[in-house]
Structure 1
Amino acid sequence: MTTDVAADPATALLVVDLQVDFCEGGALAVAGGNALIAPVNGLAQRFRTVVLTQDWHPADHTSFASNHADAAPFSEITMPYGPQVLWPDHCVWDTHGAAFHPDLDIPHARLIVRKGQHREIDSYSAFYENDGVTPTGLAGALREWGIERVVLCGIATDFCVGWSALDARKHGFAATIIEPLTAAIDVDGSLDATRSAAREFGVTWSHDF
């Protein structure tokens, strides 16, 4: 990714879920999360428009394994909107775990998108809840700002980053994932599946930042 692309006023950086619970030591820690913070801070300084996303769940969220009798974390159930991985409790609103990583330093971020507030629906994408029809409002904001391209980084490559990239393409935005600035969970081949789906929808993968 060239400096010219980062400085383009029609390009936005989407920093996905760099929160305490998703980094080492958190309730749903993803290996490599802490190492992303410093380079993402540096990358963000090159963009005029930066959007942060934040998982933000009620304690009784239906995606938590603890809210299903005898269910194990990382098992899968079927919800009205489709398959749902059951997660350890994480990013419960107004808790330390839901806060951004304390070293994240992007004061010029233009918008924070909170997702997953609805008890009955999980939310990976920055654009939609997992039912695929309940919007977050991000697409409208980007259009009003004249954004045409989204660059993505953060956690997790194979869930919130990847789903956000797919939905960006569905809304007509170009989308590029900066893979070295992401960290993956990789549950049952989810990383390979995300890479395949993303390429099919025209998402580009870059190692240059």
Structure 2
Amino acid sequence: MRLDPARDALLVVDLQHDFLPGGALAVPGGDEVVAPIARLAPAFPTVVATQDFHPPGHVSFASAHPGHRPYESLARPQGAQELWPDHCVQGTRGAALHEGLPDRALTLVLRKGTRREVDSYSAFRENAGPDGRRPTTGLAAWLEARGVRRVFVCGLARDFCVRWSALDAAEAGFEACVVDDLTRAVFPERRAEVDAAFARAGVRLVAGRELER
């Protein structure tokens, strides 16, 4: 697949220390994608990196819900909330982007999950908040203003933040592609479910080696 510098962007999702081995919410094999993504990034004139950036006591933390444990799902009025270990807390090393993704490769760093009562898996829209709405992050308008029409998504984790970012990119009218070998999942056994969601939305799966400058 030949890249078009005038219309393509790379979206690097949550390459942060807490999602890598040794981190608070480590994704199995997450460290394996850092170097390949860093090598791929210079092929794109527009590279957006997302960064989970949670305040203490964030709604996604099991510790914020007495009696509940990480990896449970909590029923809330606006829908189910997955609960996780405390992770990517603002100002901690766990929230920092991995140093293997050099600053010079990035056009924009988008922080998400910054509001205590609203989670945000997607780079494009927050999860449903207490009012049931999913506010935009502004990323779609920013990309459109740069002439981007096709978004390649990679990073962590395939079954959560990569999944929702790709689905929302497609919903926003972009041609959405997941660079599948440059993702890793929290729950790899759920691959069929995630693949079905991609197929329904028209999200294409590609391999990093297929991308040509």
**TM-score category (smaller protein):** over 0.9
Cross-structure match for 1:113? 110
Query: Alpha-carbon deviations, 1:5-41, whole Å to 9, x = none?
Result: 1x43200000000000000010000011111111000
Out of 98-107 and 62-71, give the one that drifted further: 98-107
Q: Deviations over 1:56-92 (max 9, x none)?
A: 1011101100111111100001223211110000000
Q: Which amino acid aligns with 1:185?
A: V
Q: In structure 2, do the counterparts of structure 1 residues 191 and 58 end up closer, same or farther at CA, with 3 Å as the change threshold?
A: farther
* Of 23, 27, 34, the match for 2:20: 23
Report if aligned partners of 1:36, 1:154 keep a CA contact under 8 Å in 2: yes
TM-score, length-normalised on structure 2?
A: 0.92
Residue of structure 1 in register with 2:89 after alignment: 92
Gaps of 5+ in 2: none
Does the 8 A contact of 1:18 with 1:155 survive in 2? yes
Looking at structure 2, the residues matched to 156 and 115 of structure 1 have their Cα atoms a distance apart, in angstroms, of 14
CA distance in 2, matches of 1:53, 1:190: 23
CA distance in 1, matches of 2:107, 2:99: 19
Kindly report which structure 2 residues correspond to 1:32-111, keeping only aligned pairs within 5 A, or say none: 32-111=29-108
Q: Shift in Å at residue 208 of structure 1? A: 4.0
The answer to whether the Cα contact below 8 Å between 1:44 and 1:50 also exists between their aligned partners in 2 is: yes
Alignment RMSD (CA, Å) = 1.4
After TM superposition, the structure 1 = structure 2 runs for residues 116-195 of structure 1, keeping only pairs within 5 Å, are 116-131=113-128, 133-186=134-187, 190-195=190-195
The residue type equivalent to 2:155 in the other structure is G
1:196 partner SS: helix
Q: How many residues align?
A: 205
Q: Residue type matched to 2:169 in 1?
A: A
State the secondary structure of the residue aligned to 1:45.
helix
Q: Is the 8 A contact 2:37 2:182 kept in 1?
A: yes
Q: Give distance in 2, aligned partners of 1:158 and 1:191.
A: 8
- Runs of 4+ displaced beyond 4 Å: none
- Counterpart code for 2:124: F
After TM superposition, give the deviation of residue 115 of structure 1 in Å. 0.5
After alignment, is 197-206 or 102-111 more displaced?
102-111
C-alpha contact 2:40 2:208 (8 A) present in aligned 1: no
Contact 1:51/1:112 (8 A) holds in 2: yes
Look up the SS of the partner of 1:168 in the other structure.
helix
Tell me if 1:12 matches 2:9: yes
SS at match of 1:87: coil
State the alpha-carbon separation in 2 of the partners of residues 193 and 115 from structure 1.
Answer: 25
